[in-house]
Amino acid sequence: MTRLWNEPAAFADEMIDGFVAANGRYVRRIPGGVARATTSPAGQVAVVVGGGSGHYPAFGGLVGPGLAHAAAMGNLFASPSTQQVYGAAKAADNGGGVFFTYGNYAGDVLNFDVAEQRLRDEGIDARTVTVTDDISSAPPAERRRRRGIAGDLTVFRAAAAAAERGDDLDGVARVAALANERTRSFGVAFTGCTLPGAEDPLFTVAEGRMAVGLGIHGEQGIDETDIPTADGLAEMLVAALLDPAEVPEGVASVSGARVVPVLNGLGSLKHEEMFVVYRRIAQLLEGAGVEIVDPHVGEYCTSFDMAGTSLTLYWLDDELAALWEHPVDTPAYRRGAVTATERVSASAIEAEATDEIPDADDSSRATAQTVRLAVTAIAETIDTHVDELGRLDAVAGDGDHGIGMQRGSHAARAAADAAADAGAGAATTLQRAADAWADRAGGTSGALWGVMLAAIARTLGDTGTPTAADVAAGVSAASRAVTDYGKAELGDKTLVDALVPFATTLAHGVDGGASLSAAWRSAAVAADRAATATADLLPRKGRARTHGEHAVGTPDPGAVSLALITAAVADVLASASEKGTPS
């Protein structure tokens, strides 16, 4: 269990503040997470890593000379927001482009991709290689769908070493892709982890039993078995990774191959226990004719306080072997001797831009008050249902949907209040709420709600009063944006299954001459009906995909929260209509 925290919602921010205070020699605080406290050569490719907090030393602990230039750090088990990723990239950029690498999770992919496009729009070149080392999360033929776990370390090191030897952006991406193709991992767990403030762990395993092949957030594994002896566990891990189907294509023969073994603790397993396991792992690898290079036993990618371990095998070729020898000096990971460099000067740290409110007319300011009321209603609705949303998500995810939606909606309410108080129009008020939601919530849902609200905001404008057709067009644009960014379709068991019926029904009602209030109410009913129906669907996207049939019978939490929100906004619009205020 987790014992020490103040406010659970503030845990990640306070953790990062403390981490920086303890490691000022290596890192400095930036809006998106942390960046190197020391300078890097002009023109060097900036390697930016990241993901949710709760996996220390990934990701902030791997920032420093020889490894990452910056880390975007999200909330606990939630991907960093687009703004956080963008902020980390801007802080790290040396003029040679930005290289992103992180674990292959839907929320991370969405937020990093949007940030990458934003950089390119500004003329900063960027590339990405996601880590896909977890063999339990998809078969060999579908390796691109696999999750990233402790193999992060090998890919991060290869990319950073390539950047520091002077490779250009394409060269760094090539090396990282090669390292990823030659990295395989497999893990087990004996207990789940408990997030700060949570009463129960994310998952449980019966006493004396072991979950096999689960993810670092507690995602469903492939089996459950009795806990074996230490030697038995070593034999299970090695056998899985030496399976011919899992040996990288570039390895001509296991016998004589050079391999870096990484036995990773997931948070609560003692090093002494892992050493007993590694003793047998080494014997098995040597018996197979493998040449062991620089073995690692310790914690490299954890899952908060989960008791468990994973084994990673990194199959070296000549280039990767040379890059592996590059020295590294970070708060949590050191190899070799790194030449000292100057600290980043205070003048080099960019000041935040002035937050100016665009001009608006009285009509749009009046509409902004309705927007403000709608965002407030959203936050209050999420507060009412936060526990239930978390319970639903625990069945088919990691249980943080309610908390994430609560963080996002509260941030959106504060931003909308501030914008409306400052005289902003409807578009600016909703856009500020969208940005705050995405930034504070993180994760897939945070990014998608930011995308949705921003799409609607663009149709409202900061002058005049938007029509019902304007709002319907904005909702339709939001629906298209979600499917474009998230890649989910109807039937995948995501919020799309409620969003598309909502957008379609709203547009049909408005086109038929209904008022916005009446059309919205009908669309909210359609969304609720569609959200309930997701209980019968098999998940095909996101983390829930790995739960398969375990998720059948439970509605998708993203679809449920969307339906709840549309119903709450329907009440606001009805009230505005009765009072004759702009809606």
Helix or strand (DSSP H, E) at 224: strand 223-226
Q: Which amino acid, residue 352?
A: E
Place of tokens 């394409």: 170
Q: Are 179 and 197 in contact (CB under 8 A)?
A: no
- Using DSSP's 3-state secondary structure scheme, residue 434 falls into helix
Q: Which residues pair with 185 in a beta bridge?
A: 134, 312
Three-state DSSP state, 70: strand
Rounded distance between C-alpha atoms, residue 192 and residue 140, angstroms: 27
In sequence order, the 6+-apart residues with CB closer than 8 A to the CB of 270 are none
Q: Half-sphere exposure (CA, 13 Å, Cβ side) for 531?
A: 24
Set 55, 217, 296, 326: catalytic member: 217
Question: Tokens standing for 490?
Answer: 């109807």
φ/ψ of 251, rounded to 5, equals: -90, 110
Quote the Cα angle for 156-252-256, to 5°.
80
Burial of 141 (0-12, 13-18, 19+ CB in 10 A): exposed
3-class DSSP state for residue 33?
A: strand
SS (H, E, C) 470-525: HHHHHHHHHHHHHHHHHCCCCCCCCCHHHHHHHHHHHHHHHHCCCCHHHHHHHHHH
Structure tokens at 370: 């309705």
Q: Do 162 and 175 touch, CB atoms closer than 8 A?
A: yes
The pair of three-digit structure tokens given for residue 292, joined into one six-digit string: 């062991």
Catalytic site includes residue 550:
no
Give the Cα-Cα-Cα angle 524, 528, 533 (nearest 5 degrees): 145
Determine the Cα–Cα distance for residues 580 and 404; give it in Å rounded to an integer: 34
**In this structure, what token pair is assigned to residue 270?**
């003692």
Q: Residue 255 has what DSSP assignment?
A: T
Q: What is the dihedral sign for C-alpha 393, 396, 399, 404?
A: negative
Amino acid in the structure at residue 179: A
Q: Using alpha carbons, list the distances in angstroms from residue 383 to 71, 200, 248, 407.
A: 31, 19, 48, 10
**Which of 477, 472, 352, 369 shows the shortest CA–CA distance to 429?**
369
- Active-site residue numbers? 217
